[in-house]
Amino acid sequence: MLWLDLGNTRLKYWLTDDIGQIVDHDAKQHLQAPAELLMGLTDRFERYAPDFIGISSVLGEALNIKVTETLSRLNIPFEFVHVDAAHPLMRSDYNDQQLGCDRWLQMLGAVDKKKRQCVIGCGTAVTIDLIDHATHLGGYIFPSIYLQRESLFSGTKQITISNGAFDSVGQGMTTQDAVHRGILLSIVGAINEISHRHPNFEVIMTGGDAAIIAQHVNRPVRLRDDLLLNGLARYFDHSKQT
Ligand SMILES: Nc1ncnc2c1ncn2[C@@H]1O[C@H](COP(=O)(O)OP(=O)(O)O)[C@@H](O)[C@H]1O
Ligand SMILES: CC(C)(COP(=O)(O)O)[C@@H](O)C(=O)NCCC(=O)O
Ligand SMILES: [K+]
């Protein structure tokens, strides 16, 4: 199988064998040209001769059409995920026309009907979702630390910071530190507040920036890099059974 995750910044792919083991995996910036990036990867994909391609995309109709055109040339059946708010593994009252499918799949990949869970996706946006015994209770969306820095850079005259490390939440004494620490605290502080309000929820984090953020959270955090893949596998298993 070939599994694709088209996020706002990166294209992730996984090739898995018959027993679900990952035989190849990578994440690449697509620069809003995912179809062209996929074109360059087709040789690699064809080498493994996958019999199915399952796709999560939050890139919108126009880019999905281009991706569809590229994938059609492979002559391998493929299917885009559609959010199912009444899925047997997890119920959700969130507006299902709006819920991002990567966000939903991450939850589907993590959900455990015996637990209360807080699933945090740290990609281009940071999403924080609460799940109570397999019922999605809703969540929050924040700009990532990088998007926040870009918005300060572009919306102010005297803040000209465009790079540097996000490594502390202590107060800063320079613009550079104040910007990075303030932004990091906005996410870490929100996570701490949400986990304070929901003390019995297991905190699970995934996505490109999960490790940077998790270090400063004052609760035990489970870092998982397999949630979206797991969600894709669960979704397509189910649709084959019905
Ligand atoms: N402006 C930026 N500068 C540097 N790195 C960035 C920037 N925006 C995002 N990133 C990085 O890109 C990665 C995106 O993470 P990922 O989970 O793949 O997100 P998405 O699913 O939204 O594509 C993160 O590791 C983040 O550190
Ligand atoms: C919230 C997101 C931007 C996160 O995307 P990502 O950071 O993974 O690229 C995406 O799931 C999305 O576009 N969601 C639609 C809005 C919603 O979930 O309500
Ligand atoms: K967007």
pLDDT in tens, 105-155: 999 999 999 999 999 999 999 999 999 999 999 999 999 999 999 999 999
The model's pTM: 0.96
* Residue tagged active-site, from 84, 93, 102, 167: 102
Domains, the chain, ordered by start: 2-80 (3.30.420.40), 100-227 (3.30.420.40)
The token pair at 194 is 């949400």
Return the pLDDT at 161: 85
In this predicted model, what pLDDT tens digit does every residue of 162-219 receive, in sequence order?
889 999 999 999 999 999 999 999 999 999 999 999 999 999 999 999 999 999 999 9
User: In whole angstroms, how far apart are CA 169 and each of 51, 100, 140, 158, 159?
Assistant: 47, 29, 21, 22, 19
Query: pLDDT band at 242, cuts 50/70/90?
Result: very low
Ligand 2 and 141: CB distance under 6 A: yes
Compute, in angstroms, the gap from residue 172 CA to the centroid of ligand 2. 31
Identify the nearest ligand to the CA of 127 by its number.
Answer: 2
Q: Ligand 1 test: best mutation among 9, 29, 205, 223, most atoms within 8 Å of CB? A: 9
Burial (CB < 10 A; 0-12, 13-18, 19+), residue 174, is: exposed
Report which secondary-structure segment, H or E, holds 213. Answer: helix 210-214
